[in-house]
Chains A and B, each alone.
Chain A
Amino acid sequence: MSIIASTGILNHVDGSSEFESHSTKVVCSVTGPIEPKARQELPTQLALEIIVRPAKGVPNTREKLIEDKLRGVLTPLIARYLYPRRLCQITFQVMEAGEPELEFSQRELSCCINAAVLALVDSGIGLLAMASSVPLAIIKGQLVVDPNAQQLQESQSVHTLALEITESGKNVQNILLLDSTGAFTQNELFQILSQGEERCLTLVQELRKVLGDRINSEIIRTKT
């Protein structure tokens, strides 16, 4: 259950990342803080423009919904008070959905969250915490962490969990997102939270490693 991720892959934006897990692959770019349009401007905080573009076809309500959920996750993560009357554009391009797009968006959503964390760090925009996200599914009463496309289709319920993580990726601070659909019991939900938390913690370590590797490879060279 490995991920492939890298940062700083694009040249004309302030931060960028690529995040791949199973067959789902997302590229994220961050531009900001920049001058906003008048209607976007917030007097005391950084405004966020979040754009999700699907692998196939034009964006529609499905992508708008993902954008909305992402906004809910990313807004509390960014130190927005640092950049009043500025704008940050966060753009996601889904390269491969890795799930049947008509029914599911869980995999894309959680990959977008992870990619966004990497790209935001890469852009140098102030963050209050790290975050990571994982999709989960319950198949025949059995909990599956990070299900693939096939597993999603066999599931009774699907869930996306995103957690705010602090203290070098050791402490789970808050739940940023819990998005569950399908039929499930309260018990199953608790199970989802505990197993999801476990996975999120390891994932955040992996994200930290990706970032660390990048810093090591670049900073050391410039120091010498």
Chain B
Amino acid sequence: MSSIISIAKRKGAFQQSIDAGFESGSEDEDVNMSDSIDNGPTHTQESNSTEGHIVTPGELVTDDPVWMRGHGTYFLDNMTYSSVAGTVSRVNRLLSVVPLRSRYTPETGDHVVGRIAEVGNKRWRVDIGGKQHAVLMLGSVNLPGGILRRKSESDELQMRSFLKEGDLLNAEVQSLFQDGSASLHTRSLKYGKLRNGQFCQVPCSLIVRSKNHTHNLPGNVTVVLGVNGYIWLRKTSKMDMARDAPSGISAPGPSNGAPIGAKTLRSSDSVSITRLEEESSWQIYSDENDPTISVSLRQTISRYANVIKALAFCEIDITHERIVSAYEASMVYPSVGSLIDREVMETIGQDVLTAEKMRGTPS
């Protein structure tokens, strides 16, 4: 096998790897009308409203009028129908159908990674991979000079010196507008412009909402797992260290989820000075990277990026533990570049799932 390029020949219809080996019974046959009456999939209507059941558009989900109809459904009289292909979800009295795949739908409190798409009047428009751009108001960011500083007209004129088109940031969804689009804020030190690393992207359905989306990983790397599937990998900073210091890596304590404040300040004096410095200076909007990122750290970051892509390739939900597990599994391949091979990605995915089964800790 050539080490510089791998070319795989595929046969038949253009299906994804995941379908390989899935032979449909009637392939290469014309479809006869006469067997349509009996062979069609039959679904009893009562069972459709059960949790996790798969429904497709136009299908009757339930004829029980007690349900409130949520996303992915529509109704006529007592009948509730599905409008997407997905699984039935029931939360209290709310019946909805969760599509198998769709664009990111923001929810209040989501930790997202976004890219500035447009600088507008007193607001930035941020691409968060959703149906619409999110809005970041000038008033929803910390400005150089501290929390107590009032924003002035000059701030409106120099918005590009804080954040400009293309800039990446992490933020929290503060609220939702009527039409479902999000308003963001970065009024906490854990949010803001992203530096010292590289970006990668996975389908948002693979990111599980959890208390904490910023994790320090072995090898001095920190990952920001945006709920929207945008991921930032960077060199672990002093701030990152401080955040995890009081409670450790694997057991998230109460301070992790809460906005940064007094609790974090407790950790050490040096950090609080850093914090004050950062908050009051232009530093938080700097475009300069840490000049001390070593080649080996860069390679570690690349390795993490590749294992995250491998997890996504195998359609495995991405969590902090799984990233670490996949990273460890990848160590048998000394060359980071070999991790882009399909077979290798599949092996890593398999290894992660096996390791989990052995530990008995499913996510």
Q: Is A in direct contact with B (CB under 8 Å) within the complex?
A: no
A interface with B by C-beta (< 8 Å): none
